[in-house]
Amino acid sequence: MGRAVGIDLGTSFCVAAVIENKLPVVVPNRDVATIPSILCIID
């Protein structure tokens, strides 16, 4: 079975996690667990 990935797109920060052994594990970033939420639309 494949892994489930959860992504929390908050208004200030976002974080991603996977389920391992029935527990959520945050996908590590270089420096911090959360990163600023940014959206860019190029039209």
pLDDT digits (tens, 9 = 90+) for 6-32: 888 777 778 888 888 888 888 877 776
Reported as a pLDDT band with limits 50, 70 and 90, residue 1 is: low
pLDDT band at 40 (very low <50, low <70, confident <90, very high): confident
Buried b (16+ CB within 10 A) or exposed e, 19-29: eeeeeeeeeee
Q: Given pLDDT bands bounded at 50, 70 and 90, which one contains residue 33?
A: low
